[in-house]
Amino acid sequence: MDTNTILYIVGGVIIGVILGYIIAKALEKGKASKLIANAELEAQSILKQAKSDGESIKKDKILQAKEKFIELKSEHEKVILSRDKKMAEAEKRIRDKESHVSNELSKAKKSNQSLEDKIKDYDFRLEFLDKKQEEIEKAHKNQIKQLEVISSLSAEEAKSQLVESLKEEAKTDAMAFIQDHVEEAKLTAQQEAKKIIINTIQRIGTEEAVDNCVSVFNIESDDVKGRIIGREGRNIRAIEAATGVEIIVDDTPEAIILSCFDSVRREIARLSLHKLVTDGRIHPARIEEIVRKTEKQIEQEIIEVGKRTVIDLGIHGLHPELIKMVGRMKYRSSYGQNLLQHSREVAKLCGVMAAELGLNPKLAKRAGLLHDIGKVPSSETDVETPHAILGMQWAEKHGEKAEVCNAIGAHHDEIEMTTLLSPIIQVCDAISGARPGARRQVLDSYIQRLKDLEDVAFGFTGVKKAYAIQAGRELRVIVESEKVTDDKAASLSFEISQKIQTDMTYPGQVKVTVIRETRAVNIAK
């Protein structure tokens, strides 16, 4: 093929390609115009549909808005109506109050007017009464002057005589009234009280216990005395210095006397001597060692005694310090009476008496056991305080109940009794201390107490003789019949008993008997 043919072929291909491209574009343009036309039609239909939907929605919203407006309008009208109603009610109340206030004001005006009228009337009456009072006083003074002239006595003298006569009459009536009521009380109360006390005493049996201020230490032979005395008396001086006990070595066969007011010291000295004599080694160093060990043993024994006492009496929850004080009472005495035995006896008496009276027997036993713990002071400063007050302070310190503390402090009347337990403790303490053989007194102090008892009676006018009998349990007073009447005798007995109770200290009770007799003596010749 030649070159021209190839060119024609290539040219024809190119022309065909161009024509095909042109035709394709023409076809694509026709399709695009159709698509645009279809799209415009769809858009028009969509717009029409949207317009129709918008109109329907608009109509619905308008209807809803109208309904909401109508609803809000009705609610607003209701609110306005309620407000109008409340305002009308408030106006009505205000009108009622105004009418009420006006009525009250009118009543107040009337009351003020009537009050002013009454005040004027009262003022007039007061003036009238003042005038009458002046007239009465003048008339009274005139009558007094006339009476003074008639009786030849002044008003003051007549008044004093009248007062004296009324005093005597009132005193006589009062004594008769007191005597009648005392006798009536005795008929009802004394019999029952005696029954309870006697029953209590009979149920509590206890031995007579009297402690002395000396102890006797028995030895096997007199040779031991020399060993106890030691060379130039050094052993006996060491024992006395270590224990505080006076050791008396005399001609008494096979016995050494230990003298000390403190029972604890005497017991320590006795036990120490017993250990020394048993061991055989007696010299100052050994003595001090044995005394120290014995003191510890006694302290432990004191605690054990306190525990056994508390257990025997059925008392629970007692403070350890109080238990120790109870144990220390074993080595103390009061008027020769062992303090622990006395306290145990009082505790038992209190328990029985409280049970008879319907009170708490356990609380009564507790107070009875602790009532004398103040007699075992732990320091020199405690000695200056009365033992009842000191015991009450210790009981309060260690958590005892108020009833127990008051019973301890009031059993010798140092403080006021505030519970029924206090007089029971006082009575049982007197019963325990007053029974025969319970206490030992020095003869001089006993005789002095009887003399003081008689001197109290002689301090009253009209007393002729006075005798203290029954070991000071009764005071018989013989009065002069010319100076003392029967009514005065009753009052004199009461006054003497009060004087004894106030000025003297004594165990138990003192019965005061006033005797008045009239003797008419004539001689037939």
Q: Hey, CA dihedral for 63, 69, 72, 78, is it positive or negative?
A: negative
Query: Which SS3 state, helix, strand or coil, does residue 153 take?
Result: coil
Phi, psi of 441 (to 5 degrees): -120, 150
Tokens 């021209």 correspond to 4
pLDDT at res. 207: 47
Task: Please give the angle made by the CA atoms of 339, 342 and 346, to the nearest 5 degrees.
Answer: 135
Extract the tokens encoding 41.
């039609």
Chain centroid to CA 265: 39
* 164, 170, 171, 172: CA torsion to nearest 10: 110
Which of 495, 487, 494, 485 has its CA nearest to residue 517?
Answer: 485
The per-residue pLDDT for 208 is 45
| Superfamily classification of domain 211-313 | K Homology domain, type 1 (3.30.1370.10)
Q: Measure the CA–CA gap between 372 and 68, rounded to whole angstroms.
A: 99
Domain 328-435 in CATH 1.10.15.40: no
Residue ranges of the domains in the chain?
211-313, 328-435, 439-516
Q: How confident is the prediction along the chain (525 residues), in pLDDT tens digits per residue? A: 567 777 778 777 788 788 888 888 777 777 777 788 787 788 888 888 888 888 888 888 888 888 888 888 888 888 888 888 888 888 888 988 888 888 888 888 888 888 888 888 888 888 888 888 888 888 887 877 776 667 666 667 667 766 776 777 777 777 777 776 666 666 665 566 666 665 565 555 554 444 455 567 777 766 777 777 777 778 778 887 787 777 777 766 777 777 776 677 788 888 888 888 887 777 888 888 888 888 888 888 888 988 888 888 888 888 888 888 888 888 777 666 778 888 888 888 888 888 888 888 889 889 888 888 888 866 555 556 788 888 888 888 888 888 889 988 888 878 888 888 888 888 888 887 766 555 554 455 667 777 888 888 888 888 888 888 766 778 888 888 888 888 888 888 888 888 888 887 766 678 888 888 777 777 787
CB-based contact 394:374 (threshold 8 Å):
yes
Location of structure tokens 């007053």: 434
Name the β-bridge partners of 216: 257
Q: What is the pLDDT of residue 181?
A: 64
Query: Is 371 within 8 Å of 425 (Cβ atoms)?
Result: yes
- Output the six-digit token pair for 130: 């003042």
Q: Are 497 and 512 in contact (CB under 8 A)?
A: yes
- Residue 231: CB atoms within 10 Å: 8
The angle at the Cα of 337, spanning 266 to 513, to the nearest 5 degrees, equals: 150
Pairwise CA distance, residues 226 & 411, whole Å: 50
Cβ atoms within 10 Å, residue 441: 14
Please tell me whether the overall predicted TM-score, pTM, comes out greater than 0.75 for this model: no
- Tally of CB atoms within 10 A around 128: 10
Beta strand spans in 160-232 (E): 214-218
| Reduced 3-state DSSP string for 394-459 | HHHHCCCCHHHHHHHHHCCCCCCCCCCHHHHHHHHHHHHHHCCCCCCCCHHHHHHHHHHHHHHHHC
Rg of the chain over Cα atoms, rounded to whole angstroms, equals: 59
Distance CA(127)–CA(133), nearest Å, equals: 10
The whole-number pLDDT of residue 211 equals 47
What local confidence, expressed as pLDDT, does residue 343 receive?
A: 86
Give the residues across from 469 on adjacent strands.
Answer: 474
Task: Identify the pLDDT of residue 342.
Answer: 85
Angstrom distances, CA of residue 350 to CA of 402, 431, 436: 17, 10, 19
Query: How far apart are alpha carbons 270 and 327 in whole angstroms?
Result: 19
Diameter of the chain measured on Cα atoms: 229
CATH architecture of 439-516: 2-Layer Sandwich (3.30)
Taking a C-beta distance cutoff of 8 angstroms, is the pair 258, 247 a contact? yes
Using an 8 Å Cβ cutoff, are 433 and 507 in contact?
yes
DSSP state of 254: T
Q: What's the full length of the chain, in residues?
A: 525
CA neighbor of 493 nearest in space, from 517, 470, 476: 476
Measured distance CA(110)–CA(64) in Å, rounded? 69
Look up residue 471 and give its amino acid: A
Q: What is the pLDDT of residue 210?
A: 44
CA 485/CA 328 separation, integer angstroms: 55
Q: Dump the DSSP string for 3-65.
A: HHHHHHHHHHHHHHHHHHHHHHHHHHHHHHHHHHHHHHHHHHHHHHHHHHHHHHHHHHHHHHH
pLDDT score, position 26: 75
